[in-house]
Structure formats: C-alpha cells, structure tokens
Amino acid sequence: MKLKARYHLRSDFKEKILDKLKSMFGPDIEQFFVEKTLEIAEMDECDFILVNGDPIFFMLGEKLYPTLRGAMRFKPKRKRVTVDMGAVKFVSNGADIMCPGIINADTEIQKGDIVIVSDEVHGKPIAIGIALISGEEMMGSKGKAIKSVHYVGDKIWKFGGSETSLNT
C-alpha cells in the first residue's frame, strides 16, 4: 500500500467518527481518544485513521472499521463474536465465519453490523467482518454468519506492523 496523503483530522470530522464509533461499540470508546492526535492516511487501497500515528481504524468507502490492532487496543465489549479453536486457522486465513464455529455472539448484533471476531482461548481479535445474520441467529447450527473484511496476515494487518508503522 502506498501513502498518498497524511493530514490531521478536522474537529467536525473527528466528532463524526466518534459518533459512529460510539453507536457501534458504546460510549466507553470515547475514553480511548482522550488527548490523542487523530490523522488520516490516504492510501491507494483504503484510508486509515491514525491515533497517535498508529493505524487504529480504516475506511472502505464511507464505512469505518477497526483494524485488528486497534481492536486489541481499545478492547470493545460490544459487537464481539467468539469462535472455537477449530475455526481459528480458517478465519485467520480470511475465510468467512460459519455458524458451527461460533461459540458466543453479542445478542445485540444486527444484520449488517461490523463485528470483531475473537478466538476462544485468548479472546484476541483475529478478524473484522460484517454480520450476515443477527447475533442470536449466529448460534445456529449451519450457514454463513459473518463476511470477513480484515484478518490476521492480510494487507491491513501487515501495514499496521512495526515494519510499516507511520509513526514519525
């Protein structure tokens, strides 16, 4: 990914982003942004929101997603789905998440919500996706539950690593 431009967020855009994030992950997320510098890094494939120089969120079109590293930092309690260890290998390679691999899901998740997928042992985020069904339905026995958008090892993950950090 190539950097096209990098600039500080205007206060009105920062408020819009905070409002979106509060509606997605709850009001607790606002604490994560206290006394932090927010910037946009426009890349050739997607745009990143940098918090103190680190890519914590990315935007595809108008949709805002947390990066996995961002989810590890701000640790949202809402919009989370936990998969069993048998599913981890597949999810970590970009596979969509199927109902049989899900052992727990936030019941407030609605179809179309952005969700964070974590492993059952460590609770670490391994994928970011879009819910194809509600959280209650995810506990079903068959079918696809989540479309994977970002996963461990993809371009967004590699971009956020120490070797490609935008901290200057």
Model confidence band, residue 163 (pLDDT cutoffs 50, 70, 90):
very low
Domain with CATH 2.30.130.10 in the chain: 80-151
Domain 3-71 superfamily per CATH: Pre-PUA domain; domain 1 (3.10.450.120)
Q: For residues 31 and 129, which has the higher predicted lDDT (pLDDT)?
A: 129
Q: For residues 77 and 89, which has the higher predicted lDDT (pLDDT)?
A: 89
Residue 29 corresponds to which amino acid? I
Return the percentage of the chain with pLDDT > 90, whole number: 61
Domain with CATH 3.10.450.120 in the chain: 3-71
Fold classification of 80-151 (topology level): 2.30.130
pLDDT at 75: 84
pTM reported for the whole predicted model: 0.88
Quote the Cα angle for 93-99-104, to 5°.
95
Are 14 and 22 in contact by the 8 Å Cβ rule? The answer is no
Phi/psi for 11 (5° steps) reads -60, -35
Q: Please list, in sequence order, all residues whose beta carbon lies within 8 angstroms of the beta carbon of residue 132, skipping any fewer than 6 positions away.
A: 111, 144, 145, 146, 147
Query: Can you tell me the mean pLDDT for 114-127?
Result: 95
In whole angstroms, give the CA distance from residue 48 to residue 57. Answer: 6
